[in-house]
Chain A
Amino acid sequence: MTAREAVATVVDPELRVVTIAELGILRDVETDDSGHVTVTITPTYTGCPAMEVIRADIGAALRAAGHADHDVRTVFAPAWSTDWISPDGRAKLAAAGIAPPAPTRAAGPTAPAPPVALTIAVRCTHCGSPETEQLSRFGSTACKALWRCRACGEPFDAMKAY
C-alpha cells in the first residue's frame, strides 16, 4: 500500500464516517527518494482537540503499511473551510445524520469568499424537510451546531458553514 493510500484510510476521530481526506484536512503526502514520508494536515478549528489523535492515527496507519520513517506537519494556510469537504464526504455525513454545510464558495475552496454570506435552509437529516430551526449555535464538537426539524420534531446535528 502506498503511503498516500494508507493515510487516506484514516477516519476523523469525532466524525467517524468520513476520512481525513474526504474532510479536506489532509493536504499532502510526499515520499522522498530515501522513502521518508511527509504528511501535511490542517486543522478545522484552531483548538480542535482531535488533532493529536489524528496525528497518532496517521502514524499508526503508516507504520502498519510499512512506512515507519515519517513525520506529520501541520499548516494553517490556506485556512480550512467547509468547502474543502469532498462530495463523497458530504454524502457520508448526510447518511450518518449530520446535515452537511452549504457551500460558501461555488468556485472551490480557495476562491475568495463571496461578499454576502447567504444562509440556505438546512434540511432535516431524518425526513428531508427544509422546515428546520437552529436550537443552539454550538454543538457536540467545534464544527457542528444543533438543529431541530419542525416537520418531524427530531433534533439533528448540522455542520456549520465555516
Chain B
Amino acid sequence: MTTVDYVLRLGDDALVTAQRFGAWYAAGPEMEEDVALANIALDQLGAARLLLTYAGELEGAGRDEDALAYTRDAAAFRNCRLVEQPEPDFGVVIAKLLLLSAFQLPLYDALAGAGDERLAAIAGKARKESAYHLDHSTLWTLRLGDGTDESHQRMQAAIDGLWPYTPGLFAGEGGPVAFADLRAPWSSTVEDVLGRATLTVPATVAEPTGERKHLVELLAEMQELHRAHPGARW
C-alpha cells in the first residue's frame, strides 16, 4: 500500500537534494563540476516534481507540487536528515551523493518492478539517472580518497560527518518497497567504494535527533519568493 507519507519521503529527499546541489552552481572546484552538479540537481528536481504531484493526488486535498514544495514548513517535510546536512566543502557533496545514490538506485530499481504503476513509471526513469549519479560519486570518491594526504583526510572527514545520518535512510514503514530492505545492498555498495578509496567505514551510531535548523534555513531560502508572492509562476 502506497501512502502519502511514503511518496512525500521520496519526493522530499529529491527536492532537498536538488536545492542543496543547485547551490553549488558556480561554486564547484572546476567548471565541469558546476555543470555536473547542476545536472544532478535537475535530475533530482525532475523526480521531486513527479513524486510531489503524485503525493498531492494521493492526499486528495487539492495540493499540487508547488503547494507541497513551497507552503509546508519543516515539521511537515518527510525527507531523511542526511540530505539536508550542509556542505561546507566539495568532499561533503561527493560523500552525500555517494551515500544517497547507493540508496536511491536499489530503491528505484525495486520500485520499477513493484506493484504501484505510477511509482514504477517514475522509478523506471529515475533509476537510470541514479546509476549515473552513483558512477559519478564513485569516481570522485576514489580520486579524492586515494589522492593526496589532504584530499584523503577531507574525504574521510566528509564520510565521518555524514555517517551518523545514514540510519535515517532506512527508517520508515510501509510502501511497495520497504526502506529497511535496502540496507544490505546499500552497505555492500558503499563499503566496496570506501574500501577501494582507502577510506575507513565509520562505526554506526544512533542518529542525532532534535531541532532541524539546517532544514528550516534551507526552506526559508527556497520558499522565500513563493511566500512573498503566493502563486508566482514563470
Contacts and interface: CB of A to CB of B under 8 A. Distances in A.
Interface in A38-61: 43, 45-49
Contact of A46 (B36, B47, B139): B47
8 contacts: A43-B46, A43-B125, A46-B126, A47-B47, A76-B50, A76-B121, A77-B120, A136-B36
A43 B50 CA distance: 12
Interface string A57-96: 0000000000000000001111111000000000000000
Contacts of A146: 32
A152 interface: no
B53 to A, nearest CB: 11
Given A77-B120, A77-B121, A46 B129 contact: yes
A45 B36 contact: no
Chain B interface mostly = helix
Contacts of B226: none
Contacts of A81: 128
A45 B43 contact: yes
B122 A76 contact: yes
Interface size class of B (residues with CB under 8 A): 20 to 34
Given A47-B45, A77-B120, A142-B43, A137 B136 contact: yes
Interface string B105-129: 0000000000001001110111011
A142 B44 CA distance: 12
Contact of B132 (A75, A79, A135, A137): A137
Given A46-B126, A76-B121, 16 more contacts: A46-B47, A46-B49, A46-B50, A47-B43, A47-B46, A47-B47, A47-B49, A75-B121, A76-B124, A77-B120, A77-B121, A79-B125, A79-B128, A137-B136, A138-B35, A138-B36
A140 interface: yes
B26 to A, nearest CB: 15
A146 B36 CA distance: 11
B42 interface: yes
B46 A48 contact: yes
A55 to B, nearest CB: 13
Most chain A CB within 10 A, of B44, B46, B50, is at: B46
A98 B47 CA distance: 27
Nearest to B39: A138
A136 B35 contact: yes
Interface string B26-59: 0000001001100110111111011000000000
Which of the listed residues B32, B44, B122, B135 has the most CB atoms from chain A within 10 Å of its own CB? B32
Q: Which 7 A-B pairs have the closest CB atoms?
A: A47-B46, A46-B46, A136-B32, A47-B42, A77-B121, A76-B121, A138-B36
Given A48-B46, A136-B32, A162-B128, A142 B39 contact: yes
A13 interface: no
Given A135-B32, A136-B32, A136-B35, A46 B124 contact: no
